[in-house]
Structure 1
Amino acid sequence: MKRHLLSTLTLSILTAFATTAAVAADNAPAKPAAAAAISGIDTQFIDASVRPQDDFFTYLNGKWLKSTEIPGDKASWGTFMKLRDDTTPQLRAIIEAAQKDPQAKKQGSETQKIADLYASFMDEARRETLGYKPLTGELARIRALKDKKALPGLVAHLAKIGVASPYGVFVSQDARASTKYATYIGQSGLGMPDRDYYLKLDDKRMAATRAAYEEHVGKILALAGEKNAAAQAKAIVDFETELAKVQWTKVENRDPVKRYNKMTVAELAKLAPGYDWKAALAAAGVAGKADYVIVSQPSYLAGFDAVLAKTELATVKSYFEWQLLREYAPYLSKAFVDENFAFYGTALTGVTEQRPTWKIGVSTVEGALGEALGKLYVKEHFPAERKARMEELVKNLLLAYKESIDTLEWMSPETKKEAQAKLAKFTPKIGYPDKWRDYSALSVRGDDLVGNVMRASTYSYNRNINKLGKPIDRTEWGMTPQTVNAYYRSTTNEIVFPAAILQPPFFDMRADDAVNYGAIGAVIGHEIGHGFDDKGSQSDGDGNLRNWWTEQDRAAFKARTDKLVSQYNGFSPLPGYHVNGELTLGENIGDNAGLSIAHKAYKISLKGQPAPVIDGLTGDQRFFMGFGQVWRSKMREAQQINQVKTDPHSPGQFRANGTVMNMPGFYEAFGVKEGDKMYLAPKDRVTIW
C-alpha cells in the first residue's frame, strides 16, 4: 500500500537492514550500566586476519560476511533486516490472538479490523477465484475516459485509492510558515525506482532492467484481458520515459529552498496551461481551503503539460490502467502476484523467493492499521524502563551537541547563538505516540481484500487532506512503534525513535554504556544531526525555512561538506558503480556528526571515571565497535545498484568505515597510523559538528 512521505521527514537509518540479537532478551529486567558484565559486542564475528586499521568493517564483521547467505526472500541481509524479521513473528502472534479475541466479533472495533484484514489477505482460495474481478469497476472507469479534460478527476480518484499518477497532491506543513498546513504538488508516476532506469541506457544493467520492465508491463496487461498488451506496454514505457526526462533528479530534490515554490492557482495555470489545475485541486479536495499551493518542481509540471499534450489518449488510458494493476497486483490471484514478484522482486532486486504469505499479510495489516497494531506491540514488547534509559541517552546527546556548538572554531558567535536556539527547541519522541490514531472511519471486511486496501488508502488520503485549515498536530508520528528505523522532521524540529529499534544491537539494557552510545547514541546523534545537515540547517528551531547563518559561516560549512562529498564519491560497492556523494550527503553528515557527538556524550556519561575494560576491549574500542556492528550487511547485486541509484544512504560498509575514518577518537582507540588503509591525514578528515 502506498503512502506519501512528507517532504520534511528524514528517514535516517536504512531501509534494508536488521539485528543479530535474540528477541528472548527483549524483556530482560533493567540493570544499571555500571553493574552490567557484558560488552554487547558480537566478538564471534571478528575476522582476526583483517586489521581494524586497514578495514574496520570487515575486521568486525568478517566471519559473518563469509558464513552468511542472504535469505532467498530478501534483497539484503544484516542487522536491520534481521531485527525486522524478528519483529514480524511477534506481530503475527498479536494478529492471530486478535482473531481469537471476542472483540473480533464486534463490528467496528480495532480488533475486528486487524483480524478481518489479515483474514482477507490469507484467503488465497478466494483471491484465486476472483482473479482481477475486484478491479473491473476501476478498469471500466479508466477505459471509459473520452478526452483528456476528464484527467484531473481521474487522477484525484486514483490517488484516493493509492494509485500513482504523473503528479501528486498532498498536505503538509508550510515549510516557510510551519504553524499551518499547505497544499503541495510534486512529481510522481514512474513504475521504476528512478529516472536513471529509463535514461541511462548506455549502462547494460539499466538497459536490461528497462527491457524487463516493458515485458513485465505487457504481461500484467495481458493478464487483465488486454489483447494488444505488448504494443500498449511499449507506449506506456515510452510515456514514462518522457516523464523521466523532465523530472528532477534525486540530488536536485534534496534542496528544500528550490523545492519551495509558492504560487496562486492562477500562477499554476500559467505554468502548465494545458491542464485544468482548478479542476484538479477541486477533485483532490483542497480547493477553497487555501489561496496558494507549493509546487516542488515547477519545470517538471511544465514538462508534464507538454508531454501530455503530445501523447495519444489511448496511451494515457493504458498508462493509468497499468498503474492501477501495478498497485493492486499483490492483492489479486497468483498469476498477478507471481508476475509482480518476477519484476519488482527478481529483476529489480535479485530476490529469488517470495516472502511467505503470512509475512506479506502482516505487512498489509501494518500498512493499513499500523498504530492499532503498534498499540498492542508496545504493550507486549516495550518495557517502560527501556524508554526511561533512552530518555537519559537523548538528554546526554543534546548536552554534548550544546557543548560542541560552543567550541566550533569555524562558526561565529552570531550563528552559534542561532544554532543553540534551534537545539533548545528539539522535541524528542521515544517508543510510541502519546495519542494513538483513530481508525473509526475505516471499514474492513473479512471477504473483501481489494476493497479493504482501497478503503485503507482512501482513509489515509482523506486523513491527510483534511488537515488543511486545521491546527498542526504535533502528536502525530510518521512511523509506527514496530518500525526498525528513526527520523527527523524539520517542520516540527523533532527526533523520533520507534520502540522496535530500541533492541540489541542498537540498544541493550544489559550492556555497558559504551556499546549503547556507539549504537543507539550514534542514531540519536544522527537524528539531531539532520537538523544541522545541508538540508536541515536551512530551517530554524520553529521549523521554518530561514537562513540563520552568516555568509562566512555557511561558506565554511560548505567547504567541509564538499570534502565529505568527495570522500564518498570515491567509495564503490560494485565495479562501475560509485556512491553518489551529493545524494547521500545529508545521511553522511548525520553519521559524521552523530558518531562524533555520541562519543562526546559517552565521555560525559563517564563523569570523569575510567571506562571498564570488558572482554579485553577498552571503552572507546567498544564504542566504535558498537557503531560498526550495526552496519553489518550484505546485498544482492541488483539491489546494490538500486540502492546506489535511489537511496540517500550510503552502503553499510561505507557508513561504518567512512564515518570512523574521520574520527580522531577512532585513531587513538585502534592505533591507526600513517600507512594504514584506514588512515586519513588530519587535514583530510572532516569534522563538522
Structure 2
Amino acid sequence: MKRYLLSTLTLSLLAAFANAADNAPASTATAAKSGIETQYIDPTVRAQDDFFEYLNGKWLKTAEIPADKSSWGTFMKLRDDTTPQLRAIIEADQQAKAKPGTDARKIGDLYASFMDENKLEALGTKPLAGELQRIRTLKDKKGVPALVAHLAKIGVATPYGIGVAQDAKASTRYATYIRQGGLGMPDRDYYLKLDDKRMAGIRAKYETHVATILGLAGEKDAAAKAKAIVAFETRLAEVQWNRVELRDPNKGYNKMSVAELSTLAPDYDWKSALAAAGVGNKADYVIVGQPSYVTGFNKVLNDTDLETVKAYFQWQLLREYSPYLSKGFVDANFDFYGTMLTGVTENRPRWKRAVSTVEGALGEALGREYVAKYFPPERKARMDALVKNVLAAYKESIDGLDWMGAATKKEAQAKLATFNPKIGYPNKWRDYTKLAVKPDDLAGNVMRASTFAYNRNINKLGTPIDREEWGMTPQTINAYYNSRLNEIVFPAAILQPPFFNAEADDAVNYGAIGAVIGHEIGHGFDDKGSQSDGEGNLRNWWTKEDEARFKAKTDMLVKQYDAFEPVPGYHVNGALTLGENIGDNSGLAIAYKAYKISLHGQPAPVIDGLTGDQRFFMGFGQVWRSKMRDEAAINQVKTDPHSPGQFRANGTLRNQAAFYEAFGIKEGDKMYLKPEDRVTIW
C-alpha cells in the first residue's frame, strides 16, 4: 500500500531554495558553498563513463562497511547519527522515573527490559513456555485457524495474514484483506532456485539453523523436524505469487464473500479464521490478494501431517522471538539472518537493538520527544513551501507532455491537485494508554506491543478513514507515497544534513532533496500509482492511446535496469524495481525544472569551477553514495523494489538530456544512450 524511498530529504530542500531564491540578493548564491564533496571525486574515472564511480570513487575505495552493517552510505550514516540522539532521550526517560502508565515510563521500562541480559539468561525459554505449550497441544488441524489468529496477534509469521486497510476500490471505507505469507527466508527464490548454487547453499544453512533453534528450545529430533519444516515452507513457496505479480494492484484485488472464499479452500474454516482474527461479522466481504495461493495453501495443509504443522508453528514462534531471549538464541539468529543472508559479521551493540525495539513498540511516543528536541517548528514551515514548489513544477510539466493527451492530462491535474503532503510529524499522536509495559518482561512486552498494534489495525473496520495516520515515525530516515490517501509523507529525521544543506547553493539541494520530493510525487504517476485516482480508488483514468505510450516508455526502462548486474550472475529485476525507477526518473527531471524556475531567468553562478547544472546532477549522485556486501546485494535484487544505489544514480542520469549537456556526454562514452533509447517521462 505504501511506497517508500529513503526520500524524506526532499522537503527541506525545496522550501529553503524557494525562500532563498525569492528573498535573497543575487550575491548570496555566489557566496554559498557548492555543497559538493569534491574530496571524493576520483580523477582516474571519467564522468562520461561511470558518473557514480567518478563522483564517489575515492570514498568507495577507502570507506569500510562497519562490521554490524550490511551496507554503508549517506542514508545509513544519518541513521547511525540519529540513533544516539534517540538513546539519550530514552535514557533520560529512564532516569526521570516518570509516573507509571505515562509514555515516558513505558519507553524507559521497555528499554530496561531489553538491556537486562542477566535476567534473560536466567529465563531461557520460559517467556515462551505458554505459547509453545499452546502449539504442542494442538489436537487436530481444525484448531489451525484459531492458532494462526493468535500467533498473528503476537507478531509471528503465519501462512496467511488477515488485516484491515482502505478498500482499494472504495477508499472511503476500510476492508478486510487476506494475503500470503509464512516463509522463514526472504523470498520464494531462496526455496525454489536450487540450480543457483548460492541459493541452494543458503537453503541448506537455513535447515541447519532451524534445527539449531529447535535444539536450543529442547526439541527432540530437531534435525528431522527442521527438514520437514523446510519442506513445508518450500511447498508454500511453490504456490505463492512472485514479487512482480504482487505489484499489480488490480490482479491483487479479488473481492468476495466469505462463502466464496470458502470455495477456494473448502477444507479450511474461513468463518472461524475471520472470527478468531477479530473481524468476524464486521467483515461483510473480504479482498483476497492471491486466490490461487489460498487454494494452494489448502492443499499443502491437507497433505502435511499434524506433527510437522506443529513443528512449523513452533519454529516461527522461536524465530520471531529469538532476538528477545538468551544469548544462545540471539547469536544463532544473527548467524543466519545477519551473517548468512546479509554478510554482516558483527551484531549491533545491544543498546542499538534496544532502541530499535522501543521504536517498534512506542515509535510515535519516542518520536514526539525527538521532534520536540531536534525539529524546530520553523523547519516544518520551510518544508511546506518546498513541497508546494515541486508540486507547481509538476503542474506545469503535465500541460507540456507530448505523450499524454488532453483527457488524460485533465485527470492527471485533478489528481495532482488533491495530493496531501505530510511533513515532519503527525498532527495527532498515537495513544498508547492501552499498552502495558513491564521493566522485567521483554518477550511479554514485545507480545503486548504486537497485540496492541494488531488490535489497533483490526479495530479500524467499520470506522471512518483516519486521514491523520502516519505509516512512519518522525525519526525514520525515509519517506513514502500512499496511493489510498494520495499523500506524500516526509518524516522529520531526514530533513537535515547531509541531504539538506542550508549553507549550500540551491543547485545541489535541488539535485538531492528536490529529486527526492519529486520522486515521491512521481509515485502517484508510476506504473502502480497511475492506476489510482485522486480519491485513492483503483480506476483507469487513462485513454488507451496514452496508456500504450506510457507503457512503451516503461518497457524501455525495464530493459535498461535488467542489464545492471551488482553481483556477477545476479541482475537487477527491472520489472520489480520499475515503480522506483520511474520515481527516480521523474523526480530528477522535475527537480531540474524546479531548479531552473528558481533562477528566474538569471545564469547560475559557477562555484568551485562547477556550473549550476553540474552541481545539480552531482548533488543527485551524492545522495546515492553507498556500498553493499554481496550477500545483501543479492537479497536486495531478490526482494527490494529499489535498485542498488549506483544504478539509481547512473541509470537515472543517462536518461536526462540536460545531464549530457552538463558533462559533455558523447557517443562512445559508457554513460551514453542514443536519444531514441532514452526514457523521458516528465
Class of the TM-score when normalised by the shorter of the 2 chains:
over 0.9
CA contact 1:31–1:509 (8 Å) conserved in 2: no
Residue of 424, 429, 442 corresponding to 1:431 = 424
Would you say 1:659 and 2:652 are equivalent positions?
yes
Taking the aligned partners of 1:250 and 1:504, their CA distance within structure 2 comes to: 34
Q: Deviations over 1:241-264 (max 9, x none)?
A: 000000000000000000000000
Map of 1:230 onto structure 2: 223
Q: Deviations over 1:568-611 (max 9, x none)?
A: 01111111111100000000000000000111111111122222
SS of match in other structure, 2:455: helix
Map of 1:50 onto structure 2: 45
SS of match in other structure, 2:478: coil
Counterpart of 1:132 in structure 2: which amino acid?
Answer: T
CA separation of 1:151 and 1:231: change in aligned 2, threshold 3 A = same
Would you say 1:41 and 2:22 are equivalent positions?
no
Q: Which moved more, 1:36-45 or 1:649-658?
A: 36-45
Taking the aligned partners of 2:312 and 2:347, their CA distance within structure 1 comes to: 27
Shift in Å, 1:12: 2.0
Would you say 1:143 and 2:136 are equivalent positions?
yes
Q: TM-score, normalised by structure 1?
A: 0.96
* Structure 1: stretches of 5+ with no match in the other structure: 1-7, 20-27
Map of 2:6 onto structure 1: 13
After TM superposition, the runs of 4+ consecutive aligned structure 1 residues lying more than 6 A away are none
Map of 2:410 onto structure 1: 417
Map of 1:91 onto structure 2: 86
Counterpart of 1:264 in structure 2: which amino acid?
Answer: S
Shift in Å, 1:616: 1.6
Shift in Å, 1:630: 0.8
Taking the aligned partners of 1:523 and 1:208, their CA distance within structure 2 comes to: 38
Map of 1:196 onto structure 2: 189
Taking the aligned partners of 1:39 and 1:492, their CA distance within structure 2 comes to: 37
Q: Deviations over 1:620-651 (max 9, x none)?
A: 11111111001011111111110111110001
CA contact 1:197–1:206 (8 Å) conserved in 2: yes
Shift in Å, 1:390: 1.9
Shift in Å, 1:511: 1.6
Shift in Å, 1:382: 1.2
Map of 1:100 onto structure 2: 95
Counterpart of 1:69 in structure 2: which amino acid?
Answer: E
SS of match in other structure, 2:314: helix
SS of match in other structure, 1:288: helix
Map of 1:559 onto structure 2: 552
CA contact 1:39–1:614 (8 Å) conserved in 2: yes
Shift in Å, 1:48: 1.1
Mapping 1:291-370, distance limit 5 Å: 291-370=284-363
CA contact 1:198–1:241 (8 Å) conserved in 2: yes
CA RMSD after TM alignment: 1.5
Shift in Å, 1:31: 9.2
Map of 1:544 onto structure 2: 537
Residue of 107, 119, 132 corresponding to 2:125 = 132
Would you say 1:75 and 2:70 are equivalent positions?
yes
Shift in Å, 1:102: 4.2
SS of match in other structure, 1:152: helix
Map of 1:5 onto structure 2: none
SS of match in other structure, 1:522: helix
- Count of residues paired in the alignment: 669
Shift in Å, 1:198: 0.1
Shift in Å, 1:13: 2.9
Taking the aligned partners of 2:380 and 2:419, their CA distance within structure 1 comes to: 18
Mapping 1:152-163, distance limit 5 Å: 152-163=145-156
Counterpart of 2:69 in structure 1: which amino acid?
Answer: K
Counterpart of 2:600 in structure 1: which amino acid?
Answer: K
Mapping 1:537-616, distance limit 5 Å: 537-616=530-609
CA contact 1:396–1:605 (8 Å) conserved in 2: no
Would you say 1:182 and 2:182 are equivalent positions?
no
Q: Deviations over 1:538-572 (max 9, x none)?
A: 00000000000001110000000000000001111
Taking the aligned partners of 1:682 and 1:233, their CA distance within structure 2 comes to: 55
Taking the aligned partners of 1:97 and 1:586, their CA distance within structure 2 comes to: 42
Residue of 237, 245, 250 corresponding to 1:244 = 237
CA contact 2:7–2:513 (8 Å) conserved in 1: no
Shift in Å, 1:509: 1.9
CA contact 2:507–2:613 (8 Å) conserved in 1: yes
CA contact 1:527–1:590 (8 Å) conserved in 2: yes
Q: Deviations over 1:480-539 (max 9, x none)?
A: 000001000000000000111111222122222111111111111000110000000000
Would you say 1:396 and 2:375 are equivalent positions?
no
Shift in Å, 1:319: 0.2
SS of match in other structure, 1:654: helix
SS of match in other structure, 2:243: coil
Taking the aligned partners of 2:422 and 2:463, their CA distance within structure 1 comes to: 22
CA contact 2:7–2:490 (8 Å) conserved in 1: no
Q: Deviations over 1:24-76 (max 9, x none)?
A: xxxx9x99465362122111111111111111001110000000111000011
Taking the aligned partners of 1:655 and 1:127, their CA distance within structure 2 comes to: 43
SS of match in other structure, 2:309: helix
SS of match in other structure, 1:531: helix
Q: Which moved more, 1:40-49 or 1:486-495?
A: 40-49
Q: Which moved more, 1:43-52 or 1:588-597?
A: 43-52
Shift in Å, 1:392: 2.0
Q: TM-score, normalised by structure 2?
A: 0.97
CA contact 1:45–1:63 (8 Å) conserved in 2: yes
Map of 2:13 onto structure 1: none
Counterpart of 2:584 in structure 1: which amino acid?
Answer: D
Would you say 1:500 and 2:493 are equivalent positions?
yes
Map of 1:284 onto structure 2: 277
* Structure 2: stretches of 5+ with no match in the other structure: 11-15
CA contact 1:573–1:579 (8 Å) conserved in 2: yes
Counterpart of 1:464 in structure 2: which amino acid?
Answer: N
CA contact 1:75–1:635 (8 Å) conserved in 2: yes
CA contact 1:117–1:449 (8 Å) conserved in 2: yes
Mapping 1:254-293, distance limit 5 Å: 254-293=247-286
Q: Deviations over 1:422-472 (max 9, x none)?
A: 000000011111111110010001011011000000000000000000000
Taking the aligned partners of 2:309 and 2:128, their CA distance within structure 1 comes to: 18
Q: Deviations over 1:637-666 (max 9, x none)?
A: 111110111110001000000000000111
CA contact 1:50–1:58 (8 Å) conserved in 2: yes
SS of match in other structure, 1:421: helix
Residue of 55, 74, 99 corresponding to 1:60 = 55
SS of match in other structure, 1:580: coil
Taking the aligned partners of 1:452 and 1:159, their CA distance within structure 2 comes to: 15
CA contact 1:40–1:505 (8 Å) conserved in 2: no
Q: Which moved more, 1:305-314 or 1:383-392?
A: 383-392
